[in-house]
Amino acid sequence: MKKAIVLILMFSPLCLIAQTNNSQADTLNKETNEIHNNIKCDTLYLFGGEKLYVDVKKISFDSIIYRETHNNKRQALKKDKGHKIKHSWGELEYITDSPVQENESFDWRKVKIVGNEINVKNKYRVEKLEASVKGNSYLESPKVLVKKAQVILRKRAANLNAKYILIVNKTVSMAFGEIPSASLTGIAYADNKIENQKDSW
């Protein structure tokens, strides 16, 4: 009986220490979550599963301008690296549908947009491309939206080593009470035939 009492007394402090440590860990986790949840910020989802908790200031043609919650300095991220943004007020905004592979051998800024088939005569058709963009506000002009869609097409064409895009369809929506949007459909062309390239037609 005495041995049992001695064992209980020996292990009781260990149990109290373990309970205290667990309680402190739970309290720390709770406080950390509360601090994080109390910071009003946007969630920027990148391709690959990474998330950034930041204050998104602006989305330009090719960049996402944001500010970290603990730093007033503005930073820029390539637009094609961002998948979507969950704004602090709950709205979910998609930026890029799929990841764009960077192509070091060809600059997308050199891809030419053409509107007549004569401009791609004797060129090789590579692939059909589509791009849709939605305005950031009701006041965004159709011209700006079309330029944004063109940037998307040019980047995708560059990834295919295509140097020309023939625009075959353009749609701009400016319905009253709705955020304006624009959609472009084009065919990418290259100077030389690209092997193993499947046409999406």
Query: What 3-state DSSP class applies to 47?
Result: coil
| End-to-end CA, the chain | 87
Spatial separation of the C-alpha atoms in residues 169 and 166, rounded to whole Å: 9
CATH 3.30.110.70 in the chain, residue ranges: 108-190
**Topology annotation, domain 108-190:** Translation Initiation Factor IF3 (3.30.110)
The kind and range of the H/E element at 17 are: helix 2-38
Q: What are residue 36's phi and psi, to 5 degrees?
A: -65, -40
Query: What 3-state DSSP class applies to 8?
Result: helix
CATH 2.30.30 in the chain, residue ranges: 41-94
Q: Give the tens place of pLDDT for each residue, 87-104.
A: 888 888 888 877 766 545
Q: What are residue 190's phi and psi, to 5 degrees?
A: -130, 160
**Topology annotation, domain 41-94:** SH3 type barrels. (2.30.30)
The pLDDT-based confidence of 174 (bands split at 50, 70, 90) is confident
pTM of the model: 0.49
